[in-house]
Amino acid sequence: MGFLRKQRGVPFVRRAPTESGDEVPIHVAKMTAPHVLWWHSHVQPIIDRDPSRADNGWNWLLYAPFAEVAGRVLTRKPAGYTIGISDRESDRFIPCALVQLLGRVPALDDHSRESVFVWFLSTAPEEALTTIEDHPIPVDQVPRRLGSIALDVAVTHSLNKRRLGRTALYADERGGDALLGWYRRRGMAVLPDDDELPPGPRRLLKPSDGRYCYYSVPAAVEASKELDPLR
């Protein structure tokens, strides 16, 4: 199943739906320092006003360099992506979601296989995108499904780097059952809390507690197909 997808790879999403019913072009870029600096200046303060968000209080100025360094040292092949909107006229890029992942960790469902692990994932609230000084996005043009698109970027990375779509993450406790349910609805399985994690620091320091989620190969292929209309 999904033989071609696994062999030839998959393009990243290029469009996102909007409230107006149109689609807006999306640009998936490599995450760079100006992206996280702008995010921490403009988007994070708005996220931090909402205590119900799992990414409340996050600091990408710490996470991005640390994940990059630690991932490289542990030969985990770190990668960071920014999903955003390009404005060619003004030569500006508007970050709408950030994803930091490790490209090479043992898979949760088969420790002998390699998987991608999503370390951090955050999407901009609508308010952050409609209040950008000099570049506000009209409400009806704000990209939707940013969470699904950000997760798809991780799955696409996995497919394109010969991890066959295997992708895992830890659903932050602050997101509660709602967050866990959201990942389930995206087709992810939840590792039972009595299952052992693959060898590594997490097995000892952050053992399975029923909040590790993962895509098996068939589930990842199905999830990837679901976003094909936006590629």
Partner 1 sequence: MPTPITAFADAAAKYGDIDPNDIEAVQKWFADELPKLPVDTIEQVLHDLLERDGTAAEREIVPMYPKRVPLPSLGSSPPALPPLLAEQWRTLLGRLLRRLRRR
Q: Is 32 in the site for partner 1 (CB under 8 A)?
A: yes
Among the residue ranges 15-23, 169-177, 191-199, 214-222, the one whose residues contact partner 1 (CB under 8 A):
169-177
Would you call 65 helix, strand, or coil by DSSP?
helix
Could you tell me the smallest distance in angstroms from the CB atom of residue 189 to partner 1? 20
In this chain, which of 119, 212, 214, 215 binds partner 1, going by CB under 8 A?
119
Q: Is 229 in the site for partner 1 (CB under 8 A)?
A: no
CA dist 146 and 123 (Å) reads: 6
Could you tell me the smallest distance in angstroms from the CB atom of residue 144 to partner 1? 21
Among the residue ranges 1-9, 108-116, 182-190, 214-222, the one whose residues contact partner 1 (CB under 8 A):
1-9
Give the number of other Cβ atoms within 10 Å of residue 217's Cβ.
Answer: 21
Residue holding tokens 């995010």?
39
Residues 6+ apart with CB under 8 A from 50: 56, 125
Residue holding tokens 């997808």?
5
Name the residue nearer to partner 1 (CB basis): 81 or 183.
81
Helix, strand, coil percentages (3-state) for the chain, rounded to 5, are 40, 25, 35
Burial category of 56 from C-beta neighbours within 10 Å (exposed 0-12, middle 13-18, buried 19 and up): middle
Q: Is 210 in the site for partner 1 (CB under 8 A)?
A: no
Contact 163, 173 (CB under 8 A): no
Contact 147, 193 (CB under 8 A): no
**What x/- string results for residues 70 through 99 when contact with partner 1 is judged by CB under 8 A?**
x--xx------xx-x-x-x--xxxxx----
**Residues 130-159 within binding reach of partner 1 (CB under 8 A):** 132, 135, 153, 156
The footprint of partner 1 (CB under 8 A) covers 4, 7-12, 27-30, 32-35, 37-38, 40-42, 44-45, 48, 54, 57, 59, 61-63, 65-66, 69-70, 73-74, 81-82, 84, 86, 88, 91-95, 119-120, 132, 135, 153, 156, 160, 170, 172-174, 201-202, 205-206
